[in-house]
Amino acid sequence: MVPNRLFFTKGVGKHKERLTSFELALRDAGIAAQNLVRVSSIFPPNCKLIPRKEGVKYLNAGEVVFAVIAENATREAHRLVASSIGVAIPTDKETYGYLSEHHSFGESEDQAGDYAEELAAEMLATTLDVEFDAEKSWDEKKEIYRISNKIVRTANVTQSAVGDKNGRWTTTIAAAIMLFDDPA
C-alpha cells in the first residue's frame, strides 16, 4: 500500500465555532468530503507530484484518504497564523523523500514556507549523507543540496491568514494528499 501520486492543497476558514472554521478550511482546500487519516511525513519512492486540480478529481465522498496535514487556528483579532507543508524529493526515484509540517504564529507565508521546505530538505539530507552546516542560511543550504546532486526538488504549500477582526476562529490548513492506483 504505497501511494503513487500526491498533491498539495491549502485552505482557510473563519467562523464563530472552531470546528466549523476547520471544516470551512477543509472545504476551501477541496478535501472536506473525505475521511482524512493523518500520517507521518515520508514522500513515497516512485511517487508522482500532481497538481491539485488533477488530484481532487480522484477523491470520492466518504473515502478514507491518507494525508500529511499542518493546521493552525486563532481567535485573536489580527494575529497572523500559518500552516505549511514542505517537501524534499531525492534525485533517485527509488528512494523516499520527506514531507514536513509547520504551524506558526507571526510568520509570513514566505517565512513559514521556507522553514517547512528547509525542514524537509534537512531530514532528507541527513538520510543521504549530504553534509551541511545547520547554521547556514536556507539559500546557502539549497546550493549545497543542488551541488550534491542527491536532492532534485524542494517545494512547499503554505496558507496564512490574519485573525478575524471580530474574534471569530480563523483556521489555516496545508496538506499533502496521498493517492493510490494510477487512473490510466
Average pLDDT on 51-61 reads: 96
- Report the CATH number that the domain containing residue 11 is assigned in CATH: 3.50.20.10
> Residue 147's domain spans which residues?
5-179
Q: How many domains does the chain have?
A: 1
Task: Express each pLDDT in 122-139 by its tens digit.
Answer: 898 888 887 766 677 766
Query: Over 90: is that where the pLDDT of 144 sits?
Result: no
Average pLDDT on 131-157 reads: 72
Residue 173 domain-assigned? yes
Residue 184 domain-assigned? no
Lowest mean pLDDT among 3-12, 60-69, 134-143: 134-143
CB neighbours of 88 closer than 8 A, spacing ≥ 6?
A: 43, 97, 98, 117, 120, 121, 123, 124, 125, 145, 151, 153, 154
* Residue 46: closest CA among 183, 154, 182: 182
Task: Express each pLDDT in 99-121 by its tens digit.
Answer: 999 999 999 999 999 999 989 98
